């Protein structure tokens, strides 16, 4: 999936080797646009939108994964009657799922760290221990789910997306061969954002009490929006300074996490990523775009 100025586009490869697209127009209210200009708030708005939109695209892909295109009409008829409700429902589920998971990854480490109060009695030690458990929980969860074939495939497509963006930003012709030479890591990745919430949280929690436990849990929940907002700003900062030798190291922790959240894609997966990116460029009316021909790898998309 890629996001452009005018649309969000997902591309999938069907069982008959055809490419199917799912497009959502990028429409924002004036209120949303104004909120995205405000530091701290813009990160929360962007994350809520990404959660809602991402689930819609994943639902589209999962519905058609390993399904014969001949059965599409039957599947369409089954969903047609409640299409609007379904789309809205999926968006709400995406946001609620994010909030629920954020609560788990925020509250659980605080409770676990509190059990070690006898060994680590100081507030600084408790906050650092809490951050350690949160990081351990995050890395353990990602590693375990990455072992499943389906999630591994998702992570391969994630790597393909990064490779395509890196090739485009490096201004090289977008052939499968050229894209495969690029790194599967990228500074603006949402995976980096997740890790930054752990790091930023450690600094934020230093300014609030850790005792008693009930208040510790309450302030962790209350501070979630602040941690999210600050983490988004840190992510933006690391992207801006990534070409400055001394400062580019600020983004390294996020890149290291992407070693887990991305996998090396195969050529077929890169082709699908290129098709999705091509559709985004077409929707944005980018000039000098050449159609990708999946049967001839010599065809290229010329970046601007």
User: What single string gives the DSSP state of each residue in 7-64?
Assistant: EEEEEEE-TTS-EEEEEEE----HHHHHHTTSTTHHHHHHHHHHHHHHHHHHHHHHHH
pLDDT at 111: 93
Spell out a b/e string for 186-198, using b for 16 or more CB atoms within 10 Å of the CB, else e. bbebbbbbbbbbb
Give the confidence band of 226 by pLDDT, cuts at 50, 70, 90: very high
Q: In this predicted structure, which of 114-128, 133-147, 190-204, 275-289 has the lowest mean pLDDT?
A: 275-289
Higher pLDDT, 30 or 264: 264
C-alpha to C-alpha distance for 43 and 233, rounded to whole angstroms: 7
Can you tell me whether residue 3 is helix, strand or coil?
strand
| 301 in Cβ contact with 172 (< 8 Å) | no
pLDDT at 302 over 70: no
The span from the CA of 120 to the CA of 115, in Å, is 9
Indicate the average pLDDT of the chain.
82
Is the pLDDT at 304 greater than 90? The verdict is no
Span 220-231, average pLDDT: 92
Please determine, for residue 121, whether its predicted confidence score (pLDDT) is greater than 70.
yes
The answer, yes or no, to whether residue 136 has pLDDT greater than 90, is yes
The residues, any chain, with a CB within 8 Å of residue 108's CB and separated by 6 or more, are 133, 137
The mean pLDDT of 178-198, rounded to a whole number, is 90
pLDDT tens per residue, range 81-105:
444 444 445 445 545 566 677 778 8
Q: Please say if the pLDDT value at position 137 is more than 60.
A: yes
């Amino acid at each position: 999936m890629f996001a452009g100025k005018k649309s969000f586009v997902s591309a999938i490869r069907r069982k008959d080797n055809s490419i199917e697209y799912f497009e959502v127009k990028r429409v924002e209210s004036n209120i949303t646009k104004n909120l995205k200009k405000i530091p701290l708030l813009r990160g929360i708005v962007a994350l809520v939108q990404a959660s809602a939109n991402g689930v819609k695209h994943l639902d589209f892909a999962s519905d058609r994964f390993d399904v014969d295109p001949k059965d599409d009409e039957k599947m369409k008829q089954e969903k047609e009657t409640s299409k609007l409700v379904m789309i809205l429902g999926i968006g709400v589920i995406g946001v609620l799922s994010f909030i629920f998971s954020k609560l788990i990854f925020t509250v659980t480490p605080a409770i676990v760290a509190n059990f070690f109060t006898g060994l680590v009695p100081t507030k600084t030690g408790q906050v650092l221990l809490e951050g350690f458990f949160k990081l351990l929980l995050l890395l353990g969860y990602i590693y375990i789910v990455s072992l499943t074939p389906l999630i591994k495939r998702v992570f391969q497509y994630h790597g393909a997306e990064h490779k395509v963006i890196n090739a485009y930003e490096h201004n090289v012709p977008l052939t499968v061969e050229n894209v495969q030479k690029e790194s599967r890591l990228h500074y603006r990745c949402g995976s980096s954002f997740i890790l930054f919430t752990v790091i930023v949280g450690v600094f934020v929690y230093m300014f609030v009490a850790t005792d008693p436990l009930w208040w510790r849990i309450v302030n962790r929940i209350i501070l979630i929006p602040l941690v999210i907002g600050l983490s988004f700003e840190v992510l933006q900062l690391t992207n801006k300074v990534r070409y400055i030798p001394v400062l580019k190291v600020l983004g390294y922790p996020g890149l290291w996490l992407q070693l887990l959240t991305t996998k090396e894609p195969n050529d077929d997966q890169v082709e699908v990523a290129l098709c999705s990116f091509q559709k985004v460029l077409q929707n944005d009316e980018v000039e000098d775009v050449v159609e990708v021909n999946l049967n001839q790898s010599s065809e290229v998309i010329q970046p601007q």
